[in-house]
Amino acid sequence: MKTVLSILFTILVIFSAAAQNYPSRSNILWVTEPDHSDWLYALDEEAEVAISLYEFGIPVDNVEVHYAVGPEMLDPDTEGSITLKNGKGRVSMGTSSEPGFRDCWLTVKLHGQTYKHHVKVGFEPEKLTPYTSFPDDFEAFWDKAKEEATSTPMEVEKVFVPEYSNGLVDCYLVKLQAYKKGQQVYGYLTIPKKEGKFPVVFAPPGAGIKPMDPMKHYFYAESGVIRFDMEIHGIRPDLDAKTYKEISRSFGHGNNSYLVNGLDDRDSYYMKKVYLSCVRALDFLISLPKWDGKNLIAQGGSQGGALALITAGLDDRITACAANHPALSDMAGYKAGRAGGYPHLFKYYEGMNTPEKLKTLEYYDVVNFAKLIDVPVFMTWGYNDNVCPPTTSYIVYNALDTEKEAYITPINEHWVSEKTRRVILDWIKAHLK
């Protein structure tokens, strides 16, 4: 196992100021530095974090900072305040007698405005194991489902998209019939324009119901890799953002979310169509004349990272898998008294804690597909992620019994840098046959 630790303290992030530790164009900058350089501790070892607060790059002196410390994603067990001297202070994050993470939330008021920040540290997370059980008939269930899905003919509509094409890349909007007759998924296919045969990357989407932008990963096709960015709902990805917002309000949130639709029964759960549509996408991709006939890689982030790992576990045509902060991972972990995976069914949803729903989740949880993967896997995640917590990423990584590599970026919340996106592509290229 190769582990790369990248502690990125000075990244300026282009995401929303309210959601990220290092907001772009903010007058205020927090810097939190745990007293272990890798942010990891032994069980029962006390962790301490040094805090620095700057305004316009100048230390903020004699200001009170409130802190709340506790297990990741759970209620704090310690609260208090400290006064920063020359912009600096220290807070104990306590310890843990069980593998996992603790979180320290910081709050300060300046000029009538509240600013927040948080930092997590881990306690022997390499020892984390899933709460989710592996059903005796897990493989039999999915083998039968895949066999049934093959009775649906693969119907393909492929339309050239000139606005997303250039002198190096051809882009197509693809519609695939998948799972059952009359159901479909869409995706953008980007193919190098030059002559030759190329590896293929299958890229399922992050969570939600939203438009797709194939330009985000255009550099794959520009560098000689075919890429298929797929949506999972059967909704055209080129609709305008307003229309997508209306659709999302209908079945994208809370107890109306597609992620809980049909959860009482493993055969009626919405995600069954999604997982089998991923397999159908592979049927299409290996039919491409420009595929090199050897390399079929699954890659994605968040829900897409989950689906990449799931597809690698479901289908032995996948030759390698790269996933960042996978969702849908040890989702019932809250029942073990620690953080569970996105969509946090047992934290933010009502009526989820039933035997039927818990049993269905066992057949759809990433940790159980991870146990079936026998190809190289690259994973990257950050510690400060509250969407897909590091606890659940470690649980997936620990469950893998194959060649694997972890690229850990502790400061990251629910994002990866442009540099990390390139690292993923470099890893993929290094593992081509």
Q: What string of pLDDT tens digits covers the 433 residues of the chain?
A: 444 444 333 333 333 333 456 666 789 999 999 999 999 999 999 999 999 999 999 999 999 999 999 999 999 999 999 999 999 999 999 999 999 999 999 999 999 999 999 999 999 999 999 999 999 999 999 999 999 999 999 999 999 999 999 999 999 999 999 998 999 999 999 999 999 999 999 999 999 988 888 999 999 999 999 999 999 999 999 888 888 888 888 776 777 789 999 999 999 999 999 999 999 999 999 999 999 999 999 999 999 999 999 999 999 999 999 999 999 999 999 999 999 999 999 999 999 999 999 999 999 999 999 999 999 999 999 999 999 999 999 999 999 999 999 999 999 999 999 999 999 999 999 999 9
Check residue 21 and give its pLDDT: 63
**Which of 385, 393, 417, 431 does the annotation list as catalytic?**
385
> Model confidence over 72-103: pLDDT tens digits?
999 999 999 999 999 999 999 999 999 999 99
Closest CA to 70 of 62, 59, 78, 61: 78
Q: Tokens 């592979």 appear where? A: 282
The CB density around residue 291, as the number of other CB atoms within 10 Å, is 17
**CA nearest to 67, candidates 30, 19, 15:** 30
| 48 CB-contact burial (10 Å; exposed 0-12 / middle 13-18 / buried 19+) | middle
Measure the CA–CA gap between 275 and 232, rounded to whole angstroms. Answer: 9
Identify the helix (H) or strand (E) that includes residue 219: helix 218-222
> Strands 2-5 and 404-408: what pairing?
parallel
Rounded percentage of the chain residues whose pLDDT exceeds 70: 94
* Confidence at residue 10, expressed as pLDDT on a 0 to 100 scale: 31
How many CB atoms are closer than 10 A to CB 418? 9
Give the single-character DSSP code of 13: B
Q: Does 302 qualify as catalytic in the annotation?
A: yes
Helices and strands in the chain, H and E counts: 10, 19
Contact (CB, 8 A) for 412 and 381 = yes
Say which of 96, 277, 302, 329 is annotated catalytic: 302
SS3 at position 346? helix
The dihedral built from the CA positions of residue 5, 10, 11 and 15, taken in this order, carries a sign that is positive
> Can you tell me whether residue 27 is helix, strand or coil?
coil
Q: Hey, what are 381's tokens? A: 């995640």
Q: Tell me the DSSP string of 385-423.
A: -SSS-HHHHHHHHHH--SSEEEEE-TT--S---HHHHHH
* The pair of three-digit structure tokens given for residue 238, joined into one six-digit string: 């080129």
Q: Which helix (H) or strand (E) holds 104?
A: strand 100-110
> Per-residue pLDDT tens for 185-234?
999 999 999 999 999 999 999 999 888 889 999 999 999 999 999 999 99
- The enclosing H or E element of 378 equals strand 377-381
Please indicate whether residue 385 is annotated as part of the active site. Answer: yes
CA distance 416 to 325: 9
pLDDT of residue 251: 74
Location of structure tokens 């107890």: 255
Structural domains of the chain sorted by starting position, each given as residue range(s) with its CATH number in brackets: 12-127 (2.60.40.1930), 138-430 (3.40.50.1820)
* Active-site residue, selected from the candidate residues 117, 118, 233, 414: 414
CA–CA distance from 99 to each of 7, 42, 43, 67, 122 (Å)? Answer: 21, 9, 7, 23, 8
Question: Token pair of 410, please?
Answer: 């502790």
Tokens representing 97 are 């007698």
Residue type, 72: E
